[in-house]
Structure 1
Amino acid sequence: AKPCGGCLSREAHTQVYELLYRFLPQKIIYPHSCLTSLRAPLDIPIPEPPPKDEVETERQEKKEVLECGFLPGNEKVLSLLAMVKPEVWILKEKCILVITWIQHLIPKTEDEKVLERVNAVKTKVQAVQTTISKYFSEHGDAVAKASKETHVMDYQALTAYGEVKARVLDLKAFCAELYHIISTNLEKTKPSVY
């Protein structure tokens, strides 16, 4: 019977090879197809100049009333975000797996720099999680500004596509970076214990 450490080592070894040869290559290729299919028009109704009805705010400032009503979220962007959020979580878990694997299989004298690089990728992935949350508030701000200043169409373009595309491309780069870290350090691993 093999000791428990041997079973753990075999399982970690199998998971890392699956990560290296299946998961990461798929995640490097997949975002491209996802982004090429995303062409989401932002249908912000451009209101007619509002009537001169005015509303008093708490600070006694006069603001014009906008009559465009509730603006729903962009369905294509929201569906892309729904796909990206679990991918971010999975990538963060894979970073933790790689860190565990490196600590277990690479001699201590050689693993510090590699661990720093993997931790840097994990930190970047966590930043993407934060960015996705911030997207919704920034989206709301941009839509509000676009509806107030309808002559500035750049706000509409910004809202529809830019931020989500950047985050998906970041995830692709993180997967490529993890792939590079693992593949360049495979020769440093200790001989298999099983």
Structure 2
Amino acid sequence: MSTTTSAKPTPRTDKRRAILDAAGPVFGDSGYERASVDAIAAAAGISKPTIYSYFDGKEGLFRETMADIARQVNEASYDIVTSLDLRPEHWRASLHELAIALTACQRQGCAAALSRLVLAESRRDPGVFDEVRRAGIEPIREALAGRLAMLGNAGLLDVPDPAIAAQHFIVLTQAHLPELTAGGTRAGDPQQIEDAVQQGVEAFLRAYAVA
């Protein structure tokens, strides 16, 4: 009988992972302009030239760090979206729970820092937003569109275009986050945030739910 073993990370993979793990907090705390490669190297416990051997300068490191954080946020959010309960007696409550959980994901640690950095740096480098969209935003939107399409097929929602419906759901449920969290710089009042999210879900249901 044969056994299968998972591949162990190579030293090069380990170093690349260490650099990305160190770069996220440094960029998050300092922003792109004030963050230094020296500080990232020190946080990762490696030399500055080593960073340049893995990434194409500070700009390349910043883009890959943002995409890496987006992928991490995507993993948690994807699991939440795919767990949406589609049963007729549960789907409405499950949509509310989904919206609250997705909002919580967006407000936690690296996700909050990611949102701030993308907003701050997209004007300087529009490619940053494109990287984050491909790595984190689009997979979640597509997964949500798929679940909404299933609710449409079940006759519970009227969704001519599931992709647009998914976008509306995200926008409506997270519309007030920037003002309630000061652009992601504060935690915000949990009850106010939950109330705003629930109102967004109700607005979505008024637009898409089948009577």
TM over 0.5: no
Q: Which has the larger radius of gyration?
A: 1
TM-score by length of 1: 0.32
RCO greater where, 1 or 2, for CA within 8 Å and sep 6 or more? 1
TM-score by length of 2: 0.30
